[in-house]
Chains A and B, each alone.
Chain A
Amino acid sequence: MSVNNYIRERFFPHLWCPGCGHGTILNALLRTVESLGIDKSNMCMVSGIGCSARISGYVDFHSMHSMHGRALACATGIKMIKPELNVVVPMGDGDAMAIGGNHFIHACRRNIDMVAIIMNNRIYGMTGGQYSPLSGSGILATTAPYRSIDREFDATQLAMGAGATFVARTTAFHVKEIGSLLKKAFEHKGFSVVEVLTQCPTYFGRKNKFGGPVQMLEWYRDNTAPLGSKKLEENSDLIPRGVFRQVDAPEYCAEYAKIVEKAHKE
């Protein structure tokens, strides 16, 4: 029993910066797959472009490093051909909400059975620290030297509005919660969105004087609260964590199989 059975060790140490939260998410994801006892040949990871997307190179699953923002489109194709696979799509905030925003809302609407993880570090790291649609206003970035004026998306609200049937949020500080939410997402039949607020100490942290990875994680610890908690009730400025929605709805591949059956009968 070791997460090392699920990685391509030859590519380690990975290329993420020291203290990057993406590694913590990879860590939690591998442990979740292990705890669910899913065979790695039944796992498929599809990623787009960006720091976060490099994750597909490190896992010893079926994997596809696709186009920027188009990971969900590629994953939809894979899932329709092989519905028995467990498809997981980790995306960065820009990958999911900007370049891939359209694919994201339509994947939510279709309710196709896969797990979409939004690794939200509020910045484009790989290309040098440009602000993203999840940065929010008042943020310093290389493309916003006088602070950004754009308001941010709430990724969970967007996913719910678009029809995703499982929507959750946690942070890279709450490592056990990442695991428990991912487990629920894998067990859910339908489109599952798990947003993980994570730290980019290199660009976001340094530019915005958030300090190093430890200080950024402490910020997530101090500025988030579980849904339904007294802490959140008393302070509405805190970012809510937990499961926002879990509902049953017809799943896309199952509905498609019915259409195929119907067409064969006629």
Chain B
Amino acid sequence: MDPVSIRAQWCKGCGICVAFCPKKALRLENEKAVHNPELCILCGMCELYCPDLAVTVDKSQKKPQATREVANES
């Protein structure tokens, strides 16, 4: 199961999660965010950025290696 679930009914397609995903694992399709689990590193930034509270990231599925947080360092 995809650890990142997006509630399409709540998503307004603003594109913030798409723009600030450090791995470009999100895209917009028909004005709704869609997630690509293959690129995702489960950093959880999309969940924090989403103004619509539409994204939930299940971090329990996170693999121990390779997590890098790009945003919020500047």
Bound-state CA distance A28–B47 (Å) is 10
Q: How far is the CB of A84 from chain B (nearest CB, A)?
A: 28
Q: How far is the CB of A238 from chain B (nearest CB, A)?
A: 11
State which of A38-46, A122-130, A182-190, A212-220 sits at the interface with chain B: A212-220
Is A163 located at the chain interface by the 8 A CB criterion? no
Q: How far is the CB of B22 from chain A (nearest CB, A)?
A: 13
Interface centre among B19, B50, B71, B74 (most CB of A within 10 A): B74
Contact with B72, one of A27, A30, A176, A214 (Cβ below 8 angstroms): A176
Secondary structure type dominating chain B contacts: loop
Number of interface residues of B (CB under 8 A): 21
Interface size class of A (residues with CB under 8 A): 35 or more
What residues of A have a CB within 8 angstroms of the CB of B14 in the complex? 18-19, 201, 212-214
Question: Are A26 and B53 in contact, with the CB atoms below 8 A?
Answer: yes
Question: Are B72 and A175 in contact, with the CB atoms below 8 A?
Answer: yes
Bound-state CA distance A16–B52 (Å) is 9
0/1 interface trace, chain A 1-43, chain B, CB 8 Å (1 if under): 0111001000011101111111110111011000000000000
Interface residues, chain B, CB within 8 Å of chain A?
A: 9-10, 12-16, 19-20, 45, 48-54, 56, 71-72, 74
